Amino acid sequence: MEVLLDIMEPGKSPDPHQAVPGARKRVVGIDLGTTYSLVAAIGVEGQPLCIPDEDGRVALPSVVHYGADGRIITGETARDLAPSHPVETILSVKRYMGRGVEDIRRRHPMIPHVLEEGPGGMVRIVAGERTVSPVEVSSEILKELKSRAEDTLGGPLHGVVITVPAYFDDAQRQATKDAARVAGLEVLRLLNEPTAAALAYGLEKGREGMYAIYDLGGGTFDVSLLKLEKGIFQVRATGGDSALGGDDFDHWLMARFLGELGEEHPQPGLIQACRKLAREVKERLSDEEEVAYALPGGTTGRVTRDAFEAGIRELARKTLPICRRVLKDGGVGAEELQGVVLVGGSTRVPLVRRLVAEFFGREPLTDLDPDQVVALGAAHQADLLGGNDTQEMLLLDVTPLSLGIETMGDLVEKIVPRNSPIPTARAQDFTTFKDGQTAMAVHVVQGERELASQCRSLARFELRGIPPMAAGAARIRVTYRVDADGLLTVAAREETTGVEQSIVVQPSYGLTDEEIAGMLQEAMRHGAADMEARLLNEARVEAERVLAAAGSALRDDGDLLNENELKRVKALMLALWETSRGQSAATIDQAVREMDAGTRFFAQRRMDRSLQGAMTGRKVDDFA
């Protein structure tokens, strides 16, 4: 751990690799972003720096153009070609990494490209004359950054650290690694983006303690809570919203422009022009109080920052409940944070900064450029790994979403709550619902919603061979294990016989970060309706259970009742059955209570009988 401490406090005890000039390996950090990509390295003074292109720009638009002449163009030039050559130009390829055709069609129905299914179910994109995989497209961006870095550093690279969203699954991570390999890069490690940002602050500024990383990009929002201490980066909680980002701010301006033009059904070309203008105006409003603009066709207008902020306030405020929940999940108050780190271009909007400052009760840290901080952190990590690869920065991660099991009536029983540190193992006992039940279905779901049908289904299997017993007598233990890589194993075991079934599930497989964040959002939005549905379901399940128990009690011990009593019990059962078909949980609960009160004498008699040893009293519990 000594070397780690040295790195936390640079200068005190220099790493031998760094002490000798020229001995440092050429390693870089790459932020392979949806909209922009950057490359950074540790400079001569030990500070990480983003490497600019010939024109001094550090951000490379993540756009690749496949020319008819076979030429491949990346960056600014490719982006300029997008409107005139939509089919030959690929934007935001990061969204397709590690995804299948169906996946992409479902999620991005508007993309202009023809998609084909390639080997292994991964998507292929038809780009003009060529058919390319997302891995190849990404590798073109990486190649561009690689040559930029090699020109600047004066030789071939020894290795890279590439950043990925915290929610990226195995397939997406593998695709990213493959892209690096195609580009001729050796990946030292894939690093989670929020962790990279925390690393930049932690190492750069020697900071320790609890940090919130607020990352508002073009299309997504992410917030993570990390604790930095003595070489350990502990993720405490994460959360986010996919359908929220700077693009939504552009959208507000765009709608205003189209309104001013009086266009109710604008042509695609006009929409694109207004969108481009919206982004420019938005960016200028970060520095200017009022911006004048000219719309296509010559109409001019002005917009003040106040008007813009009033328009986007509700959108920007939507990030705050998510921050609040992440703090709550992490078990810390805003006042306990050492700092709030801003990441992503959309955090340049002054309103966003003010809201963040207000919410966390402190000025956010912006001494590192929010567009660059992820790449800078990656450069640090690359330097660490390249300089001395026996040294480890230990990262302790959590499960981003709750893992549960479907129970009767479409309900979800959460077994591993979201933001649980991994590896973890949690078990819960279940029992049979009906007399003589010999099998139990196990449906593994992921998400925060109350109903199984609204969560993401991960796996199903059946535990068979349960010996026939009375309802409630079997004891089935279901165990969820999540290992350090996030791999989930589910096992179900009937305890009296030892019958067991298990299955290995890839919890995040096929689930994008947007989806995960989107599911969290849905859960919040529908919390109230879910609760009602849940209560109603619970009440119905309870009614059904009580009715089944009463039925089998009557079958076994009906002789304990005289004719009148039998009639009364049956009347109560009928009343409960009818009520349970209604929509009111409270009324059903009431009927269950009435049934319970009205049959207590019967339960008592059955108990007495079983105590006398005339019969087993096993089902009494079920009934009383």
Partner 1 sequence: MANVVCWSCRGVTGPGLFCRTCDAILPVDHGVDFFRLFGLEVGFVVDRTLLEERYRELQKRLHPDFFASRGAMERRLSLEHVTRVNEALRTLTHPLERAGYLLRLAGWQEEKIPPDTAFLAEVMEQREALDEVDPGAGDAHERLATLRAEAEQRARAEEARLAEMFVAAFGADGQEWLPRIARHTDRLRYHQRFLEELDRLEDQAFE
Provide the minimum distance between the beta carbon of 234 and partner 1 in the complex, in angstroms, as a whole number: 8
Place of tokens 């693009």: 247
Provide the minimum distance between the beta carbon of 324 and partner 1 in the complex, in angstroms, as a whole number: 6
Provide the minimum distance between the beta carbon of 618 and partner 1 in the complex, in angstroms, as a whole number: 18
Provide the minimum distance between the beta carbon of 420 and partner 1 in the complex, in angstroms, as a whole number: 8
Binding residues for partner 1, rule: CB under 8 A, are 1, 229-232, 234, 318, 320-321, 324-325, 328, 331, 392, 394-396, 420-425, 481, 483-484, 524-525, 527-528, 531
170 is an active site residue = no
Given 94, 146, 414, 619, the catalytic residue: 94
Provide the minimum distance between the beta carbon of 258 and partner 1 in the complex, in angstroms, as a whole number: 28
Nearer to partner 1, 35 or 319 (CB): 319
Distances (CA, A) of 388 to 200, 215, 228, 377: 18, 30, 21, 17
Provide the minimum distance between the beta carbon of 81 and partner 1 in the complex, in angstroms, as a whole number: 42
With beta carbons less than 8 A apart as the criterion, state whether 580 and 569 touch.
no
Provide the minimum distance between the beta carbon of 512 and partner 1 in the complex, in angstroms, as a whole number: 24
Q: Own/partner pairs for 521-529, CB < 8 Å, 24+ apart?
A: 521/241, 521/242, 521/243, 522/448, 522/449, 522/454, 523/447, 523/448, 523/449, 524/321, 524/325, 524/448, 526/449, 526/454
563 is an active site residue = no
Nearer to partner 1, 130 or 318 (CB): 318
Nearer to partner 1, 390 or 564 (CB): 390
**Could you give the angle at the alpha carbon of 586 between the alpha carbons of 581 and 587, nearest 5°?**
50
Given 31, 204, 222, 329, the catalytic residue: 31
215 is an active site residue = yes
By three-state DSSP, how is residue 500 classified?
Answer: strand
With beta carbons less than 8 A apart as the criterion, state whether 172 and 95 touch.
no
Nearer to partner 1, 426 or 605 (CB): 426
Given 15, 88, 178, 193, the catalytic residue: 193
- Please measure the distance between the N-terminal and C-terminal CA atoms of the chain and give it in whole angstroms: 61
User: How does DSSP assign 363-391, residue by residue?
Assistant: PPB-SS-TTTHHHHHHHHHHHHHHH-TT-
Nearer to partner 1, 296 or 527 (CB): 527
Euclidean distance between CA atoms 167 and 192, whole angstroms: 8
Place of tokens 């991570």: 173
Euclidean distance between CA atoms 62 and 140, whole angstroms: 9
Given 15, 88, 178, 215, the catalytic residue: 215
Euclidean distance between CA atoms 534 and 291, whole angstroms: 51
The encoded tokens of residue 608 equal: 């007495």
Nearer to partner 1, 363 or 392 (CB): 392
Distances (CA, A) of 99 to 23, 131, 468: 41, 16, 44
Nearer to partner 1, 141 or 210 (CB): 210
205 is an active site residue = no
By three-state DSSP, how is residue 359 classified?
Answer: helix
Give me the amino acid identity at 198.
A
What are the residue numbers of the active site? 31, 94, 193, 215
